Structure 1
Amino acid sequence: MLTTKKPEITEKIRMSLNKIDSQTFNDRYIGDFLNALRNDLGEIDHKYILNKSEYKNNNDGSFGTLENKRALAEAFAKEEFSWEVLKSNPHIEELTIEIYKFIKNK
Structure 2
Amino acid sequence: MTTDTEALLAALAAAPRQALPATRLAALVRAAGVDAGRFAGALAALADGGRVALLDPPPPDRHLADTDLRVVAAVGGPAGDDPAGAHLRARQTWDEILRGFLAAHRCQ
Structure with more contact order per residue of length (Cα contacts < 8 Å, sep ≥ 6): 2
TM-score tier, shorter chain, comes to under 0.3
If the length of structure 2 is used for normalisation, what is the TM-score?
A: 0.26
If the length of structure 1 is used for normalisation, what is the TM-score?
A: 0.27
Which one has a bigger Cα radius of gyration?
Answer: 1
